[in-house]
A and B are shown apart, each in its own frame.
Chain A
Amino acid sequence: MATRQTRALAKAAVGPSVLVLFIWMIVPLGLTLWFSLLNYNLLDSSSTPFIGFQNYQYFLTDPAFFSALVNTLKLVGGVLVITVVGGTLLALLLDQPIFGQGIVRLMVIAPFFVMPTVSALIWKNLLMHPVSGLFAWLAKLVGLQPIDWFAEAPLVAICLIVAWQWLPFATLILLTALQSLDQEQKEAAEMDGTPAIPFFFYIVLPHIARAVTVVILIETIFLLNVFAEIEVTTNGGEATTNIPFLVYAQALKQFDIGGASAGGIVAVILANIVAFFLVRMIGRNLEA
């Protein structure tokens, strides 16, 4: 039972760390907001006049912004579909009793430990290379024309790379969710003679729905920020630039700190909108 004194004590005890976290958050945010209102260019940083919302106006009316927004949404959506569907199937498979379970699980989880830059390099130079890559060799083996992934379908290629990296995460979370499914429930369904597909949709899926929600939320946060894969493979370009890459290009290729800050704030607002809808749509699962 919390008395008034203990509650006050708890507040006093938590206070300092809340304050540190608040400063930790508000200083970068405040500086970004401030820079976004200045005409601040690294090529001429002697004067940084206040120009109000002009940076936002330029950023939002830039045609590159809209295509970057579309690319971001395509990338996030594509990777989410692949990892959640693939992760569920893979988790169902790994939940079965198999020989050498530990080794198979290790092999499936391995891509998660590879750095994004490194995995982008592997896929670009060793697998998807149109001349010497393994996929090109396989295509020629069966008599097909090798695909030049980063020229013909760059966004699909990046989607595949990122999905490969995030598949283990989805698999791992969903596998633990599957393992907590009650054995007796399974047996009861089996005794009733439930076929596999209704068993999945009426018993397994409701059970792992919350884990799926967690996977979608966490992956969305990270997938909105995909950067290394784009930098390494295509180095931007209209077809693959997403919003983080656009902000980076604004700051470090055009040296326009003001515009990049405005872009950063826009990205924060967009991420919040996405998070709002996500939580409204699927967050109900988390409350139960």
Chain B
Amino acid sequence: MARAYTAQRRILTTVAAWIIGFLIFFPILWMVLTSFKTELEAFSTPPKFLFFDWTLENFGVVQERSNYLKFASNSIILSLGSTSSSRCRPPGRWRSRRASGPRTC
């Protein structure tokens, strides 16, 4: 970067970008936090942000109730399978000599 920016401008844009980025990311963060709460705390008002009893209970419950790992592996097989089958090229010397991208499979 050849151009110089004043420190003040850089700090201002940094603050703005971090606030907006955090707001956009917040629903995901909130989901992660809620996954460590008990059922009661998840719906408490006022909401608790960090100071609650962290628990791993929900992760066990979700696996017990619905065989979560099986469904997760279904998703992974689907996405990997469709991606790899659409990225495959036929074997042999048919590739164009000009194709300079990295081989993907």
Contacts and interface: CB of A to CB of B under 8 A. Distances in A.
A110 B28 contact: yes
Contact of B1 (A93, A97, A122, A168): A97
B89 to A, nearest CB: 11
A182 interface: no
A98 interface: yes
Interface stretch (A23-31, A126-134, A207-215, A253-261): A126-134
B94 A100 contact: no
A100 B18 CA distance: 9
A103 B16 CA distance: 14
Contacts of A150: none
Given A98-B17, A99-B14, A111 B24 contact: yes
A96 B43 contact: no
A98 B19 CA distance: 12
Interface in B12-65: 13-14, 16-18, 20-22, 24-25, 27-28, 30-31, 34, 42-47
A104 to B, nearest CB: 4
A107 B14 contact: no
Contacts of B5: 97
Given A97-B1, A132-B43, A126 B27 contact: yes
Contact of A90 (B20, B34, B42): B20
Contact of B18 (A104, A111, A123, A132): A104
B22 A107 contact: yes
A137 B47 contact: yes
B31 A107 contact: no
A61 interface: no
Contact of A187 (B3, B10, B30, B34): B3
Assign chain A's interface to a size class: 20 to 34
Contacts of B14: 98-100
Contacts of A187: 2-3
Nearest to B22: A107
Given A13-B94, A134-B47, A187-B3, A107 B27 contact: no
Nearest to B94: A13
A224 to B, nearest CB: 21
A119 B24 CA distance: 12
B30 A107 contact: no
B17 A96 contact: yes
A137 B46 contact: yes
Interface string A96-126: 1111100111011011001000110011001
B25 A110 contact: yes
B45 A132 contact: yes
A137 B34 CA distance: 16
A107 B32 CA distance: 14
A93 B45 contact: no
Given A93-B13, A122-B31, 10 more contacts: A90-B20, A93-B20, A94-B17, A99-B11, A105-B21, A107-B22, A110-B24, A164-B27, A167-B24, A190-B3
By Cβ-Cβ distance, the 4 closest A-B pairs, closest first, are A107-B25, A107-B21, A104-B21, A132-B43
